[in-house]
Amino acid sequence: MEATGMIFTELFEAIGYSPHIGQVRFHASDKRFKLLIAGARFGKSLAAAKDVLPHLIAGRSTGWLVGPTYGLAQPEFRYLTTDIRDRLGVEVVQQKAGGRDGYSRVLTSWGGELWCLSANRPEGLLGHEIDWLILCEAAHIPREAFERFLRARLSTRNGKLVIATTPRGFNWVHELYQLGTGDHEDWAAFRHATWDNPLIAPREIEAARATLPPETFDEQYGGAFTSNAGAVYREFEPALHVVPNLQAPEGAIIYRGIDPGFTNPTCCLWATVDHDGRLLVLREHYASRLTADLHAAAIRAIDGEYRDRGHPIGQAWIDPSSCGFQAELAREEVFTTNAANQVLAGIDVVRRLLRRRGDGTPGMRIDTRCHNLVREFEQYRWHEGARPGERVPRKQDDHALDALRYLCLELRRRVDWKEQGASW
């Protein structure tokens, strides 16, 4: 990241680009495959173009911009050609071919090539090796065009891929997004809302919120993956809630929430409350098909790490319908207490904690290590087949979230989360 950071700082200065904070996070990742998922006007096209600029000026590299149509790859193409020709003063030859096979191409004097292409006729994309690829508005590109025609272009030269798009339901881009939010060595994913671009006037966003159906607003402005079944935690924004290296305040009591499973995973979360009454979710243990003694060993090991750092270990709240599992944990010296288990009330407490407070910061923060919790936040949906007026979440993607619900419902009894500066 340091090397990339250096190149970017000097280059960005030279072209007069000051990325906003969401764009900085995206540029800072040096993973080979990166997704930038964001609401309209966030600055996806601009950031994607700037991200590949070092490759374009580095030598005889070939890069493609591919959109669902030729026109939809044009913003990235314009950003790149303006930078290289007008800002960096590079002499280029520009070619354009119209018609069904339309493309634009820019050639640098040292043999660098930049192509702007359409995914409309993917057969035409075969037979080339490239060094980098931006898929512009990728969520509108058919899965087949990516998987059968585009992906392999990158293989021989160990090429780099940037996917920049507004989300569009749970399609193939969402699958790649999940890879990127996990701990994958090659993939990184970033998701942002339109309002993370400080240049966009809040009143524009409020006007859209007032007129659009919530699902559409969440997708087009919130940058969220949505479906008709609707996300339960609409307030969840990874860029806001998920932070690296979250630390418990000195001496703070560490609490745990546990959702047991065998075929489904067992999840244990470690959390505490900071001096402002904010919930900090610090760690997760998430594993399936293990016996209770193995879970207990994993839980004791993490408890031990906190104890060694001077944190008392508080209660562990667990699904009240799991007596057998509780007894097995107790035999291994992990003692648990039945949690309150009102689903909707619990969801309500979690949602309130996710919201921004008066100072713009949220009432809950989650450490980046809690991959599964973050993934479930993104995937948890209301049940479509529920009776009208009835709100029931789907019994899927809810293991870490159930553990979190137990923690939140129980801790709320100890902390008044409405009050600033509450302590426990």
Ligand X SMILES: Nc1ncnc2c1ncn2[C@@H]1O[C@H](COP(=O)(O)OP(=O)(O)OP(=O)(O)O)[C@@H](O)[C@H]1O
Select from Mg ion, ligand X, none the partner in contact with residue 296, using the beta carbon and a kind-dependent cut-off of 5 to 8 Å.
none
Dihedral angle sign, alpha carbons of residues 362, 228, 380, 225: negative
- Is 232 in contact with 292 (CB distance < 8 Å)? no
Q: Which is nearer to Mg ion, 75 or 257 (CB)?
A: 75
Select from Mg ion, ligand X, none the partner in contact with residue 199, using the beta carbon and a kind-dependent cut-off of 5 to 8 Å.
ligand X
Q: Per rule CB under 5 A, is residue 197 in the interface with Mg ion?
A: no
- Is 79 in contact with 45 (CB distance < 8 Å)? yes
Q: Per rule CB under 6 A, is residue 23 in the interface with ligand X?
A: yes
In the set 11, 24, 40, 340, which binds ligand X (CB under 6 A)? Answer: 40
Size of the site for ligand X (CB under 6 A): 16
CA distances from 416 to 4, 209, 316, 320 (A): 45, 30, 20, 24
Q: Stretches 13-21, 99-107, 315-323, 330-338: which one binds ligand X (CB under 6 A)? A: 13-21
Q: Stretches 42-50, 114-122, 258-266, 409-417: which one binds ligand X (CB under 6 A)? A: 42-50
Report 55-94 residues binding Mg ion (CB under 5 A): 75
Q: Per rule CB under 5 A, is residue 336 in the interface with Mg ion?
A: no
- Is 139 in contact with 127 (CB distance < 8 Å)? no
Pairwise CA distance, residues 34 & 164, whole Å: 8
Q: Per rule CB under 5 A, is residue 220 in the interface with Mg ion?
A: no
Q: Per rule CB under 6 A, is residue 25 in the interface with ligand X?
A: no
Q: Stretches 4-12, 40-48, 285-293, 343-351: which one binds ligand X (CB under 6 A)? A: 40-48
Pairwise CA distance, residues 58 & 48, whole Å: 17
Q: Per rule CB under 6 A, is residue 68 in the interface with ligand X?
A: no
Report 160-189 residues binding ligand X (CB under 6 A): 166
Q: What are phi and psi of 407, to 5 degrees?
A: -60, -45
- One-letter amino acid of 161: L
Size of the site for Mg ion (CB under 5 A): 2
- Is 350 in contact with 408 (CB distance < 8 Å)? yes
- Is 337 in contact with 318 (CB distance < 8 Å)? yes
Pairwise CA distance, residues 368 & 362, whole Å: 16
In the set 35, 37, 46, 176, which binds ligand X (CB under 6 A)? Answer: 46
Report 29-48 residues binding Mg ion (CB under 5 A): 45
Q: How far apart are CB 201 and ligand X at their closest, in Å?
A: 12
Q: Stretches 36-44, 239-247, 251-259, 323-331: which one binds ligand X (CB under 6 A)? A: 36-44
Report 199-228 residues binding ligand X (CB under 6 A): 199
Q: Per rule CB under 6 A, is residue 42 in the interface with ligand X?
A: yes
What is the rounded end-to-end Cα distance, in angstroms, of the chain? 40
Q: Which is nearer to ligand X, 38 or 329 (CB)?
A: 38
Pairwise CA distance, residues 183 & 167, whole Å: 21
Q: Per rule CB under 5 A, is residue 379 in the interface with Mg ion?
A: no
Q: Which is nearer to ligand X, 93 or 201 (CB)?
A: 201
Count, in order, helices (H) and strands (E) of the chain.
14, 15
Q: Per rule CB under 5 A, is residue 194 in the interface with Mg ion?
A: no
Strands 254-259 vs 313-318: parallel, antiparallel or unpaired:
parallel
Q: How far apart are CB 309 and Mg ion at their closest, in Å?
A: 45
The single residue listed with the structure tokens 């610090």 is: 282
- One-letter amino acid of 383: H
Token reading at 401 = 């979230």
Residues of this chain that interact with ligand X (CB under 6 A) are 18-20, 23, 38, 40-46, 75, 166, 197, 199
Residues of this chain that interact with Mg ion (CB under 5 A) are 45, 75
